[in-house]
Structure 1
Amino acid sequence: MPTAHQENDPFEDRLGAALRQTGDTFDTDRPALIAAGHHRGRTLRLRRRAAVAGGAASIALVGIAGALVLPGSGSGGDAREQQAVGSGPRTSAPATSAATRAVSAERMIATLRQLLPEGAVSGAEGSGGGGVATPSVRLVYDDGEGGGAIAVSLNRVEPGSRTAREAIACPDKVYVPHDSCTSSRLSDGSVLMLFQGYEYPDRRVDTRLWRAELVTPEGEQISVSEWNAEAEKDAPVTRPEPPLSLQELRKVATASQWRALVPAEAGDPNKPETTTQPSAPAATFNGSAVDTLVTLLPKKAEVVSKGGEGDFGYVVVDDGRGQSLVQINVQPRMGDVAGELFTGAGTLPDGTLVSTRKTPGEKGGEGVVMWTADTLRTDGLRVVISAFNSGSQHTAATREAPALTLGQLRELALDPMWPTLLD
């Protein structure tokens, strides 16, 4: 996953997961990065604030040698494996600490092996975890029609938290092109998201990514991903679609066996940090960035569509010359990164830092350019707005230049309305 404050694209982390967390969101949905230390924890929260649903982080794996062949019943594994992955009552095992819930790599592999239909498995790798670690497993499954990679990761999130909601929210097609996505509530109160899309949003390689995300009312998160290639990236396509049908993918993700293996504590970068000394409350953004942006746009920029919530959003506008994507991100408390993000920036009489730039689009759309105005006020409020000469970063340019000039973007970012939306 790119750094939280990419100099050339402040919205980098929104495009991916996601997918989760997604997100490389599996930019992606692959388990989320875990914060380490006070400064990194804060950085990750800002990164997630800038993330689009759907994303995910790379799975850390420990190699397990040998190939496995699945029996026809789909319930492979010897008696000891069956006992290990059984779905008995969770209350029968002590769970007084994260250490008591540590899961071996072998057990993760055995559980996935048990749940797969008839076929052959090779290249199985897994990682166990305890506390905030994320147990995971990855293997290549072949049903006779070609091998495809399958990955599972387990996490615990705070029920009802932003992380939990993002995990099971379908991504916006403006940022994550896909064929289908549904999010539904199951009879036990869990929410299941089923996603059918692509590993590469620009489709430069036709590697398909299908993903299931399950979040239970208790905060157990099960992420299952599959590809129509033997690796998610840099591997030739081996079959038209991933090996598991959508119904089979659903069955694996909702299997009760996983729930007993979920970490006892959440690995949630949005979890508030504990401090030894009380501190004054910091300003937070309390408004809708996209709704505010709409009110400030030039009249000739007709809004075709919009999306986002809170401090991030986008609009697609058309001034009669073609569609143009405009993104807005409002970030309070960013004064400590002024030296990192605003080197060489201009300074207004009131101390506000202002930077403007024109760069190529970075998401694969042919001929796409991105124009950006980035501002940082003395109270730490950062407002950054980018415009593109296409209605999406992933599609070819539809016009020579964005619908808004650099001067207009600068004026929008400096509008006095933004500070009034802080608490």
Structure 2
Amino acid sequence: MPVEDHKEHDDLFEDQLGEALLHAGGDYETDRRALVAAGTARGRTLLRRRRAAIAAGVAAVALVGVGGSLLVPSGGDGGGRQTVAAGRPTPPPPSENDGEISAADLISTLKGLLPKGEFREEQGRGVGARPGPYAQLVYDDGKGGGAVSVGLGRVEPGSEQARELASCPDRIAIPYDHCTATVLADGSTLTLFQGYEYPDRRVDTKWWHADFVSPLGHHVDVSEWNAEAEKDAPETRDEPPLSMAQLTKVATATAWRKAIDAIPKDPRQVPQAPSSDPDGGAVRHTLVSLLPKGVTVVTKGSPQDGFADLVLDDGKGRSLVQINVQPRMSDVEGELFGSDAEVLPDGTKVVSHQEPGEKGGAGVVMWTVDTIRPDGLRVVVSAFNAGDQHSAATRDTPALTMKQLRAIATSAKWKKLV
């Protein structure tokens, strides 16, 4: 779905590194310092990027807060969200062994599930190919062509990834028009999302999306656009071609689950470790309890393990606040907290940052206090001078001062959550 906040280069990154990162948990090494550039808390702002990575066949490498850890979901077989825009890198050709269910089979299945119309720009990968099976095409019902793609993969039932796919993203992080998350009669989950290719609405390309996850971990990822390409193509119609009912029909088709069952198991795949982060609801409750007098909570975001976000207003305009609480982060302490870090009497290290907001909204600044305790508990809190990270600044400075952010991050209350 989902999914972020992703920038223009994300899909290029995914196309180029999909195969290289497929086994990220086992043999991929990266510059952790680049991943831990201080500033942004994790949260649902990364969901859209993460889902795009899953569907592109990348090993869904997602930044866990600013902690530098690599989160590698168990669905490493998954997906095929490719880019059909002109001028974009050509998807890698199918392997010689396309599998018992081929790219042609998947494309034929997709066409059979769509209403009557014209099809062009068909491409895909079979279940035996790497980095994962997908089918995509341009579908035209006579009212203008729209790109439609289906990616297939596996997720670990009950995992954090499965829970995220079965929920709507945080409106604070990702503006959208509508979203529903439903548990079906057989225990499967279906999330239907209606939003935009770019959260900042720089263009009017709409992105509608369905995530289907079965109780056995089958993951079907269906996307459609009101243009013949995901990016860099003019809108051809007001809305994507499939209604929510039609999108549901495609996503829940049993043929996809048979195809997923045929995906060869990868012996090198690293299982997803259970989350060790504290409950997001408890994180949010604690954050609210630590707010200074004079600020009002306008909006509460959807909490996630170890993460919470709020929109505050002190009478001078809205201000987004995000917090991550991450235990056992001692392995990155040296990279995050240099020799210039302040050391408190109890051994807690503190660093502070005041810098432009990472999403590029006009005039947005991000103030951050990052802390780590001797036992490895890391608390990092950021505040912005806007109600979200995609819009222009609405005030000169965040609603919380650096002193107030420091008081929140260093509070003893966080130790009670882990």
**TM band (smaller chain):** 0.7 to 0.9
Aligned residue number for residue 307 of structure 2: 312
User: CA distance change for structure 1 residues 391 and 284 in 2, over 3 Å: closer, same or farther?
Assistant: closer
- Deviations 1:57-94 (Å, cap 9, x if unpaired)? 95494458xxxxxxxxxxxxxxxxxxxxxxxxxxxxxx
User: Do the aligned residues in 2 keep the contact of 1:163 with 1:270 (CA within 8 Å)?
Assistant: no
- Tell me the distance in 1 between the aligned counterparts of 2:58 and 2:269: 8
Following superposition, the deviation at residue 306 of structure 1 comes to 1.6
- Deviations 1:16-35 (Å, cap 9, x if unpaired)? 4x23xx62x33686566257
User: CA distance change for structure 1 residues 327 and 29 in 2, over 3 Å: closer, same or farther?
Assistant: farther
- Tell me the distance in 2 between the aligned counterparts of 1:366 and 1:28: 31
Following superposition, the deviation at residue 44 of structure 1 comes to 2.9
Aligned residue number for residue 174 of structure 2: 176
| Amino acid in structure 2 at the alignment position of 1:175 | A
User: CA distance change for structure 1 residues 312 and 345 in 2, over 3 Å: closer, same or farther?
Assistant: farther
User: Do the aligned residues in 1 keep the contact of 2:168 with 2:193 (CA within 8 Å)?
Assistant: yes
Aligned residue number for residue 73 of structure 1: none
Matched, 1:110 2:111: no
Aligned residue number for residue 84 of structure 1: none
Following superposition, the deviation at residue 117 of structure 1 comes to 1.9
234, 237, 240: which one aligns with 1:239: 237
User: Do the aligned residues in 1 keep the contact of 2:39 with 2:353 (CA within 8 Å)?
Assistant: no
238, 245, 248: which one aligns with 2:246: 248
User: Do the aligned residues in 1 keep the contact of 2:146 with 2:226 (CA within 8 Å)?
Assistant: yes
257, 260, 263: which one aligns with 1:262: 260
Matched, 1:272 2:273: yes
User: Do the aligned residues in 2 keep the contact of 1:163 with 1:268 (CA within 8 Å)?
Assistant: no
User: Do the aligned residues in 1 keep the contact of 2:98 with 2:127 (CA within 8 Å)?
Assistant: no
| Structure 2 residue ranges without an equivalent (≥5) | 1-9, 14-31, 62-67, 74-78, 84-90
63, 70, 73: which one aligns with 1:44: 70
- Tell me the distance in 1 between the aligned counterparts of 2:272 and 2:184: 26
Aligned residue number for residue 52 of structure 1: none
RMSD of equivalent CA atoms: 3.2
126, 132, 135: which one aligns with 2:133: 135
Following superposition, the deviation at residue 217 of structure 1 comes to 1.9
- Tell me the distance in 2 between the aligned counterparts of 1:376 and 1:236: 48
Following superposition, the deviation at residue 112 of structure 1 comes to 1.2
TM alignment of 1:400-419, pairs within 5 A: 400-419=396-415
283, 294, 305: which one aligns with 1:300: 294
Q: Which has the higher contact order (CA 8 A, sep 6+)?
A: 2
User: CA distance change for structure 1 residues 9 and 240 in 2, over 3 Å: closer, same or farther?
Assistant: farther
- Tell me the distance in 1 between the aligned counterparts of 2:217 and 2:187: 11
User: Do the aligned residues in 1 keep the contact of 2:81 with 2:151 (CA within 8 Å)?
Assistant: no
User: Do the aligned residues in 1 keep the contact of 2:98 with 2:125 (CA within 8 Å)?
Assistant: no
| Amino acid in structure 2 at the alignment position of 1:391 | G
Runs of 4+ in 1 over 6 A off after TM superposition: 266-270
Aligned residue number for residue 35 of structure 2: 5
User: Do the aligned residues in 2 keep the contact of 1:370 with 1:389 (CA within 8 Å)?
Assistant: yes
Aligned residue number for residue 417 of structure 2: 421
- Tell me the distance in 2 between the aligned counterparts of 1:235 and 1:257: 31
Aligned residue number for residue 90 of structure 1: none
Following superposition, the deviation at residue 403 of structure 1 comes to 0.5
Deviates more, 1:233-242 or 1:383-392: 233-242
User: Do the aligned residues in 1 keep the contact of 2:43 with 2:304 (CA within 8 Å)?
Assistant: no
Following superposition, the deviation at residue 226 of structure 1 comes to 0.7
User: Do the aligned residues in 2 keep the contact of 1:331 with 1:381 (CA within 8 Å)?
Assistant: yes
280, 299, 323: which one aligns with 1:328: 323
Following superposition, the deviation at residue 368 of structure 1 comes to 1.9
User: CA distance change for structure 1 residues 201 and 284 in 2, over 3 Å: closer, same or farther?
Assistant: closer
Q: How many residues align?
A: 362
- Tell me the distance in 2 between the aligned counterparts of 1:408 and 1:28: 38
41, 52, 56: which one aligns with 1:26: 52
Following superposition, the deviation at residue 5 of structure 1 comes to 3.5
TM alignment of 1:9-88, pairs within 5 A: 9-11=39-41, 14-16=44-46, 18-19=47-48, 23=50, 25-26=51-52, 30=56, 33=59, 43-45=69-71, 59=82, 61-63=91-93
User: Do the aligned residues in 2 keep the contact of 1:306 with 1:314 (CA within 8 Å)?
Assistant: yes
Match of 1:178, SS state, is: coil
User: CA distance change for structure 1 residues 231 and 184 in 2, over 3 Å: closer, same or farther?
Assistant: same
- Bigger Rg, structure 1 or 2: 1
Under a length normalisation based on structure 2, what TM-score does the superposition of the two structures give? 0.77
User: Do the aligned residues in 2 keep the contact of 1:102 with 1:129 (CA within 8 Å)?
Assistant: yes
Aligned residue number for residue 69 of structure 1: none
- Deviations 1:137-173 (Å, cap 9, x if unpaired)? 2222222322221111111222222221210201121
140, 155, 158: which one aligns with 1:157: 155
Deviates more, 1:380-389 or 1:264-273: 264-273
| Amino acid in structure 2 at the alignment position of 1:158 | E
Match of 2:52, SS state, is: coil
